[in-house]
Amino acid sequence: MPGRLKAKIVAGRHLPVMDRASDLTDAFVEVKFGNTTFKTDVYPKSLNPQWNSEWFKFEVDDEDLQDEPLQITVLDHDTYSANDAIGKVYIDIDPLLCSEAATVISGWLPIYDTIHGIRGEINVLVKVDLFNDLNRFRQSSCGVKFFCTTSIPRCYRAIMVHGFVEELVVNEDPEYQWIDRIRTPRASNEARQRLIFLMSGELQRKIGLKVLEMGGNAVVGYLQCFDLEGESGLVVRAIGTACTLEKISTFPATATHPNNSSPSKDMKEPGFGEEAPGVPLSSGPPTPLRAQTFSSFSPSKSYSRQSSSSDTELSLTPKTGMGSGGSAGKEAGPLKALLKQQTQSALEQREYPFFTLTIFPPGFLLHVGGVVSARSVKLLDRIHNPDEPETRDAWWEEIRQEIKSHAKALGCHAVVGYSESTSICEEVCILSASGTAAILSSRFMQDGPLDTEHRLSQQPLCVFSAGSERVEGDMGSSASLGFEEVVSPGCGFCHIPYDELNIPFPAQLTYCYCCRRYKVPDVLFTTIDLPTEANVTGKGCLIQARLCRTKKKAQGEGNAMAISNLLPFLEYELHTQLMNKLKLRGMNALFGLRIQISVGETMLLGLASATGVYLTALPSPGGIQIAGKTPSDITYEQHISNMQKKINDTITKNKEQYEINPPEVVEEIIGSPIPEPRQRSRLFRSHSESSDEVSEIDLSHGKKDAFVLEIDDTDAVEDIHALLTDSPTPAGFYSCNTEIMPGIQNWTSAIQMFTSVRVFRLNANLTNQGLNKIFSDLCENLLKSLYFKLRSMVPCCLCHLNFTVAIPEDELIQVAVTAVAMSFDKEQTLENGKRSGEKTLIKAITENDEQLQFNLELNAESSSPNPLGSPKAPSVDYSSFADRCSSWIEQLKLKAHTIRRGSVKTTSSMEKASPLPEGRSRSLRSNRSYSGSSVAVVKMTPLSFIPGAKIIKYLGIINMFFIRETSSLREEGGVSGFLHTFIAEVFAMVRAHVAALGGNAVVSYSMKECVFMENPNKNQAQCLINVSGDAVIFVRESELELTSVQPQSATTQTSNGGEGT
């Protein structure tokens, strides 16, 4: 019995009227955990009941604590008939199980009903007392931290990156059980919500166990998905990257002085020199001495280690922060055989050398090979035994093996930016996985200490990983450290990881345009975020390839076959489109590439989104040439030359818009194994021969040159038109699907996260071309609408534009977008000037407290947003109030913030102003439902950071699943009204739960699932939404500056000292 869960029901507000006669409600609350239920008293005749209950205590296993949600049901007491349910609140108590996350859940949470939506709010208090558990065979994994963020969370440092963790659990879908025929929709929805809560809890616990087994203490890049397989069941699966993280303490004493006389010291030391493999080097100068130093990589040990020992082992290491020393580029350089074999041998011991991370600690990512992806088409069958989800496991295993072999073919030992997805239509399921083949530094994967300089200074011979390998002949004598500084940090990852004499696919190689030392490909596609240290010319932009393909209606195996046969063509065309659009923008690399293929009964939908950039290290892309097939016809030739001109103009215009003007360099094409310049795909495919899988295809455009578009039929003409019809982003806007946009740093604090959903109904009997046009227009118009809606935030960038497409039913296309719009200051210098001005202003103000208050009040009341003149248009305002006044108010301390809040026109201040005697205000009070406190602002963003702010604490993962159903669709404003309300409700519930955890923002927010079904004839609709993210507390950097000048200087001092030792 290792845990005690305590819950207290304080009050309710805004409850719905349940008794028509009195226009009031007799509410009481049931609190349920596992099989134990407590009840509060009935609070009669009130819409704002004050229960003030005792503490309800549940004594439970920590296994249950992880799996089960706390379930709070608000009911209306009825003397004569059954009590009516008002709604429910599910509380995930996982954040309370980790000592570093939240300690209490306290606040107003919306009461949710699957039929009526939010019906009032309830104020609860939840706490957990955990007892120490000494049972090493335990089934729980309390304390393992989960992060949706696909990078090392901001206030942690990575001690070690252990690698891939995955798990899936299956169950029967309650919606498809026989009992569903007789129960109410509400009961069915609630059964489903509860089941999914339970399954995610279980999944998280199981993944946690795996992490503990590997010796880690956290999962980053945690990605959980649902497969609603209908009749055949419900699958919840998750992948992530196991890590050992350490909190970066503001008081460095704890970090720099490991006071642990560790028992594992003997374990770690040999980790460095042991199992020197003495690998026969296939290329490069043999350097056995150095080879020995590479061997430190020993993942097997971390597997065998008991979870209890990992902690001690961590604190043993002297830590000065992996971010220090700008080691970014030091490992950069082609590792080729030696390192590859070293790390590979180590990585091979892991089942899958996959990483769900997309952003890496400096120095971790050495080389990038290209995108690897695999898809397979499966026929779903009923899951017979939920405890043995072997089929699904086997399916994914196949795919992962394939990915692994593709990566190997690219000369890479790891896959980064890895993700998995499915698309289901009836009994056909497409499983997809993709990632970026890469070579990683072993430095975060070994047991030893991490700090480069520290290590180097102590053991000069124990050179870190790549250093020695890069030494090519003449460089042999130079100190490795000195050498490393020569290599530009911004190009290393572009250098090819594969052997140039044995290129896995035909490609045109040149010497790197940055360092001129190593070879780079002509184009680079990746699924990861742009590395922060990368050298980029100009700005980037969102590039999308969109495609629709009709397909005949079919059943079972035949259907699966048909889809399998179509997939390669779909991917080929998507790839061609991407390549052409990339060239049209004068860019040479794609980041954050995400190809989504959705299957419907009569069509397949493909959407590839990525952020194009011009990498300085890569050669400048050539233009696009059009070639006609029938040169005899003069008008035809004219037509072609017109088009050619158009294309050339567009390229020039794009180069201007994205500020791409790379320095002129002399072209020096080096010996490529394939002499003729050709574009080849970096997409790798299944080699499997099984009937239900995609067969191998050659994505290299045959004899055709990719730069040349041949117009031999109407199709090609259409293609070119499609190419040119992508409307440019309006002035002042940038867009990308990655975290940040290269070339923009000076973000303001104004951010606006949004979700937009569109469903388009098609006519029957459309041709492929017609479909393509419609689909493309749908996406383009959606983007246009977004720009228009957010026009007041200009200059701004839409970041993390994440499109999801689906075919909810025949002839319907659904597109959902979640992204964040972030304003930035155009002029960096202007910003600086303003800042210094602000500071003096603040100084002046803070001198006198009263004056301060006065100023604040003035500012709050006046409608002019920013006394210092913000460049924003005033008509539409999306940023929060704080944001508008931010630029200088931000500079003030928290205390000042509270003062301001009080001075803004609020209910509380007015209450004070009117002297109402208690006895007389009876009728008044009944009308006064408000408590006087306004709701705390919670920011949401799909990014891992908040501009201008520092995340000081991660409070735990938010993973919520909601179902909403209606049988009065018209009354709720039709499908749009219904979905609008539901999405707003989901946002509200996420914000409320974050606020209850004590947080003020959600980062890495994403809407994983938005399944919408409608039946307008029956006036019905149903929608399922799954969202996730990390609840955090952030503090404005400006506030930090003011409040913690002292501790900060202390930090730098001590950390310096730490480095010195």
Partner 1 sequence: MSMELDVFVGNTTVLDQDVYQLWLDGHTVSDAVRIRMEAGALQECEANAEVLHSDTTDQFRTFQMCERLLQSPSKVANQLLFQIPPHRQTMLIERYYEFDSVFAREVLGKKLSKGTKKDLDDISSKTGIALKSCRRQFDNFKRVFKVVEELKGPLVENIQRHFLLSDVLARDYAAIVFFANSRFEAGKRKLQYLSFQDFAFCAGQLISYWTVGAVDNMMEDLDVDLEKDFLHDLKDLKVLVNDKDMLDQHKSLVCAQLRGKIKVFSEMEANFKNLSRALVNIASKLTHTKDFRDLFIDLVEKLIEPCRSDKWTIGDLRLFLKHYSSSVHMLEAFRHQVIWDRYMSVIKSCILKMYHD
Q: Which C-beta is closer to partner 1: that of 372 or that of 955?
A: 955
Task: Provide the 10 A C-beta neighbour count for residue 344.
Answer: 20
- Residue 246's Cβ-count burial label (10 Å; 0-12, 13-18, 19+) is buried
Tokens matching residue 954 = 């991660």
Q: How many residues bind partner 1 (CB under 8 A)?
A: 86
What residue ranges in 685-772 does DSSP mark as E strands?
A: 708-711, 733-735, 747-761
- Residue 552's Cβ-count burial label (10 Å; 0-12, 13-18, 19+) is exposed
Identity of the amino acid at 755: T
- Sign of the C-alpha dihedral computed for residues 349, 350, 352 and 355 taken in this order: negative
Task: Please name the residues in contact with 418: beta carbons below 8 A apart, sequence gap of 6 or more.
Answer: 164, 239, 354, 355, 356, 403, 433, 434, 435, 436, 527
CB of 90 to partner 1, least distance (A): 16
938 binds partner 1 (CB under 8 A): yes
**Separation of alpha carbons 183 and 578, rounded Å:** 49
Q: Which C-beta is closer to partner 1: that of 395 or that of 760?
A: 760
**Separation of alpha carbons 879 and 877, rounded Å:** 6
988 binds partner 1 (CB under 8 A): yes
- Residues 376-405 close enough to bind partner 1 by CB under 8 A: none
Q: Which residues of 980-1008 are buried (b: 16+ CB within 10 A; e: fewer)?
A: ebbbebbbbbbbbbbbbbbbbbbbbbbbb
CB of 674 to partner 1, least distance (A): 43
Interface region with partner 1, contact rule CB under 8 A, candidates 76-84, 676-684, 702-710, 980-988? 980-988
CB of 822 to partner 1, least distance (A): 13
**Separation of alpha carbons 42 and 76, rounded Å:** 8
98 binds partner 1 (CB under 8 A): no
Task: Provide the 10 A C-beta neighbour count for residue 877.
Answer: 16
Tokens matching residue 108 = 């107003």
CB of 788 to partner 1, least distance (A): 5
Q: Which C-beta is closer to partner 1: that of 670 or that of 924?
A: 924
CB of 932 to partner 1, least distance (A): 8
- Residues 707-746 close enough to bind partner 1 by CB under 8 A: 727, 730, 733
CB of 784 to partner 1, least distance (A): 5
Q: Can you give the length of the chain in residues?
A: 1061
Q: Which C-beta is closer to partner 1: that of 120 or that of 174?
A: 120
Which residue in the set 829, 927, 1017, 1046 belongs to the binding site for partner 1 (CB under 8 A)? Answer: 927
Residue owning tokens 């202007």: 830
1052 binds partner 1 (CB under 8 A): no
Tokens matching residue 458 = 């102590």
Interface region with partner 1, contact rule CB under 8 A, candidates 365-373, 432-440, 560-568, 977-985? 977-985
899 binds partner 1 (CB under 8 A): no
Interface region with partner 1, contact rule CB under 8 A, candidates 216-224, 320-328, 622-630, 979-987? 979-987
195 binds partner 1 (CB under 8 A): no
- Residues 784-823 close enough to bind partner 1 by CB under 8 A: 784-789, 791, 812, 814
**Separation of alpha carbons 220 and 310, rounded Å:** 18
Which residue in the set 37, 745, 898, 929 belongs to the binding site for partner 1 (CB under 8 A)? Answer: 929
906 binds partner 1 (CB under 8 A): yes
- Residues 751-790 close enough to bind partner 1 by CB under 8 A: 752-763, 774, 781, 784-789
Three-class SS state of 775: helix
478 binds partner 1 (CB under 8 A): no
Which residue in the set 304, 642, 690, 921 belongs to the binding site for partner 1 (CB under 8 A)? Answer: 921
Does the bond joining 795 to the residue before it have cis omega, within 30 degrees of 0?
Answer: yes
Interface region with partner 1, contact rule CB under 8 A, candidates 477-485, 505-513, 716-724, 902-910? 902-910
Interface region with partner 1, contact rule CB under 8 A, candidates 308-316, 410-418, 921-929, 954-962? 921-929
Q: Which C-beta is closer to partner 1: that of 114 or that of 616?
A: 114
Site string for partner 1, 601-620 (x = CB under 8 A): --------------------
Q: Which C-beta is closer to partner 1: that of 157 or that of 884?
A: 884
Interface region with partner 1, contact rule CB under 8 A, candidates 136-144, 448-456, 900-908, 947-955? 900-908
Q: Which C-beta is closer to partner 1: that of 267 or that of 782?
A: 782
**Separation of alpha carbons 29 and 614, rounded Å:** 59
Tokens matching residue 767 = 């041709």
The answer to whether 165 and 207 are in contact (CB under 8 A) is yes
Cα maximum dimension of the chain = 100
Q: Which C-beta is closer to partner 1: that of 916 or that of 1045?
A: 916
SS (H, E, C) 998-1057: CCCEEEEEEEEEEEEEEEHHHCEEEEEEEEEEEEEEEEEHHHHHHHCHHHHHHHHHHHHH
CB of 13 to partner 1, least distance (A): 8
CB of 203 to partner 1, least distance (A): 27
Q: Which C-beta is closer to partner 1: that of 130 or that of 1011?
A: 1011
**Separation of alpha carbons 733 and 540, rounded Å:** 11
CB of 817 to partner 1, least distance (A): 9
905 binds partner 1 (CB under 8 A): yes
CB of 863 to partner 1, least distance (A): 7
The answer to whether 523 and 582 are in contact (CB under 8 A) is yes
Does the bond joining 663 to the residue before it have cis omega, within 30 degrees of 0?
Answer: no
991 binds partner 1 (CB under 8 A): yes
Tokens matching residue 778 = 């749908």
| Beta pairing, strands 70-76 & 56-60 | unpaired
Which residue in the set 627, 904, 1011, 1040 belongs to the binding site for partner 1 (CB under 8 A)? Answer: 904
17 binds partner 1 (CB under 8 A): no
Q: Which C-beta is closer to partner 1: that of 14 or that of 835?
A: 14
- Sign of the C-alpha dihedral computed for residues 280, 283, 286 and 292 taken in this order: negative
Which residue in the set 940, 1027, 1031, 1032 belongs to the binding site for partner 1 (CB under 8 A)? Answer: 940
Three-class SS state of 217: coil
- Residues 854-883 close enough to bind partner 1 by CB under 8 A: 860, 863, 875-883
- Residues 19-58 close enough to bind partner 1 by CB under 8 A: none
884 binds partner 1 (CB under 8 A): yes
Task: Provide the 10 A C-beta neighbour count for residue 235.
Answer: 23
Tokens matching residue 932 = 């006087």
User: 19 vs 27, 43, 84, CA distance in Å?
Assistant: 11, 14, 10
Task: Please name the residues in contact with 481: beta carbons below 8 A apart, sequence gap of 6 or more.
Answer: 330, 456, 467
CB of 570 to partner 1, least distance (A): 23
**Nearest partner of 168 among 200, 146, 216, judged by Cα:** 200
Q: Which C-beta is closer to partner 1: that of 592 or that of 942?
A: 942
987 binds partner 1 (CB under 8 A): yes
Site string for partner 1, 258-277 (x = CB under 8 A): --------------------
Task: Provide the 10 A C-beta neighbour count for residue 752.
Answer: 23
Which residue in the set 976, 1049, 1053, 1061 belongs to the binding site for partner 1 (CB under 8 A)? Answer: 976
Q: Which C-beta is closer to partner 1: that of 38 or that of 930?
A: 930
Site string for partner 1, 107-146 (x = CB under 8 A): -x-x-------x--x-------------------------
Q: Which C-beta is closer to partner 1: that of 338 or that of 1010?
A: 1010
CB of 1041 to partner 1, least distance (A): 24
Phi and psi at 731, nearest 5°, equal -55, 140
